[in-house]
Amino acid sequence: MNSKPSTLNSQLSITNWAEEDRPREKLMAHGAAALSDSELLGILIGSGSPKESAVALMQRILKDCDNNLNTLGKMSLYELMQYKGIGEAKAITIIAACELGKRRQATNAAERPDMGSAQAVYNYMHPKMQDLDTEEAWVLLMNQRFRLIKAVRLSHGGLSETAVDVRIILREALLNNATVLTLVHNHPSGNARPSGDDDRLTLKLKQASEVMRIYMVDHVIVTDGKYYSYAEEGKI
């Protein structure tokens, strides 16, 4: 079936379109990048007029702007409200969306922290762990440049050990498109040396990560004032 609405469909409410033609459903199925400018704007204004869908209305407005979003962003509240189906609330929504686009363009991309060393991992995790009286396990998910994508708390357990499911770690890595990971947990006792359970978990996660073609760079044990790094000790 053609993914573009027919001329007849464009006169109907979006809810009457074929499901693959509805912009909200299309975004959910294929992502925002798959939608046209008019479809994205149609989602924002929600509805058009009795004779014109929201998307068709925005197609017409954009056509008057030579299909240039920058030109649309220069339109005033009064100019937008001259179009049938665009009231004050919809005009304000369009102007606000265009302003957000300008501000995003002017904003520098957020720099991801570099987690390429055990010291960097310790500096990042110590504030989160220094006052804990029970063990917690976290995984730091990174891209191939060792830039942090996401820090995920895996478990909050007893004083002696933390139960960690390797499957959850790998699932989080895959869901976040991470290619590198570091396991982190704390020892509230202050003794940073790994236990036998720590060694077994490290080996198990290392082997599972290799199967999934994910690089496990380290397992860092954090205490208040020092750390133990499997990588620095040559044990990973």
Domains of the chain: 7-106 (no CATH), 118-229 (3.40.140.10)
Summarised one tens digit per residue, pLDDT across range 144-195 is: 999 999 999 998 875 344 578 899 999 999 999 999 999 999 999 999 999 9
Q: 168 with 154: CB under 8 angstroms? A: yes
Q: Which residues contact 183 (CB under 8 A, 6 or more apart)?
A: 137, 138, 139, 164, 169, 201, 202, 205, 216, 218, 219, 220
Distance between CA atoms of 136 and 128, rounded to whole angstroms?
Answer: 10
Return the SS3 of 225.
Answer: coil
DSSP state of 223: -
195 within 8 A of 158, measured Cβ to Cβ: no
Range 166-201 burial, b when 16+ CB lie within 10 A, else e: beebbebbeeeebbbbbbbbbbbeeebebeeebeeb
Q: What region does 160 belong to: left with phi over 0, alpha with psi -120 to 50, or beta?
A: alpha
Q: For the segment 77-131, what is each residue's pLDDT rounded down to a tens digit?
A: 999 999 999 999 999 999 999 999 988 888 766 778 999 999 999 999 999 998 8
**Predicted structure pTM score:** 0.60
d(CA 185, CA 160): 12
